[in-house]
Amino acid sequence: MFKLTAAAALIASATFGAASVQAQDKISGGVVKIGVLTDMSGAYSGNVGPGSVLATKLAIEDFGGKVLGKPIEMVTADHLNKADVGASRAREWLDRDGVDVVTELGNSAVALAVMNIAADKKKMTLVTGAGASRITGEDCKPGNVMWVYDTYALAKVGTLPLVQAGAKKWYFVTADYAFGHSLEGDGMRFVKEGGGSVAGSSRYPFPGNDFSSFLISAQNSGADAVAFASAGADLQNEIKQANEFGLGKKQKLVAMLMSITDVHGVGLQAAQGMNFAETFYWDMDDETRKFAQRFQKELGKMPTALQAGQYSAVLNYLRAVEKSKSDQVDDVMATLREMPIQDAFARNAKLRPDGKLIHDMYLVSVKSPQESKGPWDYYKIVKTVPGDQAFNPLSESKCPLVASK
């Protein structure tokens, strides 16, 4: 009888041990490793870059550096705004370094390349810095999330009100790569849907420095509005040069994507009165101010929407890992879709089947120097646009994950 009991105990012990190992295996390698692949030195570095690395660090700090008793590690790299460089680094991280999720990806061409690699390896991508609509459209992946915005929402929220206010004829100056093309295409769509027309467009090699020939074409087009389908340092230089050419006197200058860092770089004198779509503003309420002040204390400036979105995305990724007791992509994605998402960045948010986070957006107007009460007091929130009105309806999605259902 004793022998049978001992044998049974041995089997039970072995079974329990196997179960424990299996449970531990839900956190691959005994560590949750986050790879922040961003633009650390190029045209978009002010909007993402070191600030997105800091935002990730703050989210990890909120968890005390551990989740489910396992350490959280961060690795970072500069993709140099080159898809091949980003793809190579992502492949190294996923194959050799045990990275569980690659995030930020603040360049649409880089994001699309890395998404393909991660999908092949059954790993997750968390896009916070890229905006091409095809990321959750025709190129969507089961393990990809797009957290902050896409060009559809930017164009709809930022363009339609201006067309309706009387800017009927438009000209586009566009960065010649995936994001610029997507922003231009969505912008033209909403100009036309609002009853306006497109006088023409110019595409410049990204990144750019001298925009004079493109601005002269815009000036000569007779357009009511000149839209810049670009971002970051390029956008700042375009606005400065456009003002030097006097475009702002007779034509409305429109940023299809602008950040608080861009306004800071251009200055209120040049940027005042510009309207555009935003997804975050540091001075909205106590919760946004609390996060922004933590960020400013370490970096000396207020966070952009992309940096606030990076904090939110990583924070909720870790919450999903904790709740699902796993860092496996299917488990995390299922939990993200089920759990409530509400924080300093994401308001009334829900993750859709195509991987797009739907949340409130804002139409903002840049204050005049006289209206601003101090450093970084740059925006007036003109309108809050609920996510289901800002983003494309799921019924219009080109994502095969949705179309096949």
pTM of the complete model: 0.89
Residue 202 is predicted with a pLDDT of 96
Q: Are 126 and 101 spatial neighbours (Cβ–Cβ below 8 Å)?
A: yes
Q: What is the pLDDT of residues 85-120, one digit of tens each?
A: 999 999 999 999 999 999 999 999 999 999 999 999
Residue 66 is predicted with a pLDDT of 97
Residue 153 is predicted with a pLDDT of 96
The rounded distance, in Å, linking the Cα atoms of 365 and 370 is: 14
Three-state SS at 78: strand
Residue 298 is predicted with a pLDDT of 97
Residue 353 is predicted with a pLDDT of 96
Look at residue 271 and tell me whether its pLDDT is greater than 90. yes
Q: What is the pLDDT of residues 333-392, one digit of tens each?
A: 999 999 999 999 999 999 999 999 999 999 999 999 999 999 999 999 999 999 999 999
Look at residue 329 and tell me whether its pLDDT is greater than 70. yes
Mean pLDDT of the chain: 92
Q: Which two tokens stand for residue 148?
A: 């902050």
404 pLDDT tier (thresholds 50, 70, 90): low
Q: What is the pLDDT of residues 167-193, one digit of tens each?
A: 999 999 999 988 899 999 999 999 999
Domains of the chain: 30-149+284-359 (3.40.50.2300), 152-278+362-390 (3.40.50.2300)
The rounded distance, in Å, linking the Cα atoms of 255 and 187 is: 11
The rounded distance, in Å, linking the Cα atoms of 47 and 288 is: 17
Q: Which ranges of 134-211 would DSSP assign to H, the alpha helix?
A: 151-164, 178-193
Q: Which two tokens stand for residue 268?
A: 């209120």
**CA-to-CA separations, 150 to 33, 54, 81, 322, in angstroms, rounded:** 26, 23, 18, 28
Q: Are 68 and 27 spatial neighbours (Cβ–Cβ below 8 Å)?
A: yes
Residue 3 is predicted with a pLDDT of 39
Q: Are 391 and 358 spatial neighbours (Cβ–Cβ below 8 Å)?
A: yes
Residues 6+ away with beta carbon under 8 Å from 381: 281, 284, 362, 363, 364
19 pLDDT tier (thresholds 50, 70, 90): very low
pLDDT above 90 covers what percent of the chain?
88
Range 126-140 average pLDDT = 96
209 pLDDT tier (thresholds 50, 70, 90): confident
Residue 21 is predicted with a pLDDT of 40
Q: What is the DSSP letter of 169?
A: E
Residue 43 is predicted with a pLDDT of 86
Range 220-246 average pLDDT = 94
Look at residue 9 and tell me whether its pLDDT is greater than 90. no
Range 290-311 average pLDDT = 98
The rounded distance, in Å, linking the Cα atoms of 175 and 163 is: 22
207 pLDDT tier (thresholds 50, 70, 90): confident
Q: Which two tokens stand for residue 403?
A: 């179309």
Amino acid at 48: V
Q: What is the DSSP letter of 335?
A: H
